[in-house]
Amino acid sequence: MKTLVIQKDDQNKDMYAVCYTWPSTNQIICTDVTVTAVGDDVKISFVELNGY
């Protein structure tokens, strides 16, 4: 996605804000994503859709 923006949370090292623009309405959608290390990989462990 051309409008995808990912920002690391300064307060929580495992949380990121992921935002993008929905094409048909130009509405900005943001989601908080928590990641967890699993061995050598990083996996999404929790997703919270903001505003819904």
Using one digit for the tens of pLDDT, what is the confidence trace for 37-48? 999 999 999 999
Provide the residue type at 12 as one letter: N
pLDDT band for position 50 (50/70/90)?
confident
More confident residue, 49 or 19: 19
The pLDDT of residue 1: 74
The pLDDT of residue 52: 56
Average pLDDT of the segment spanning 24-37: 93
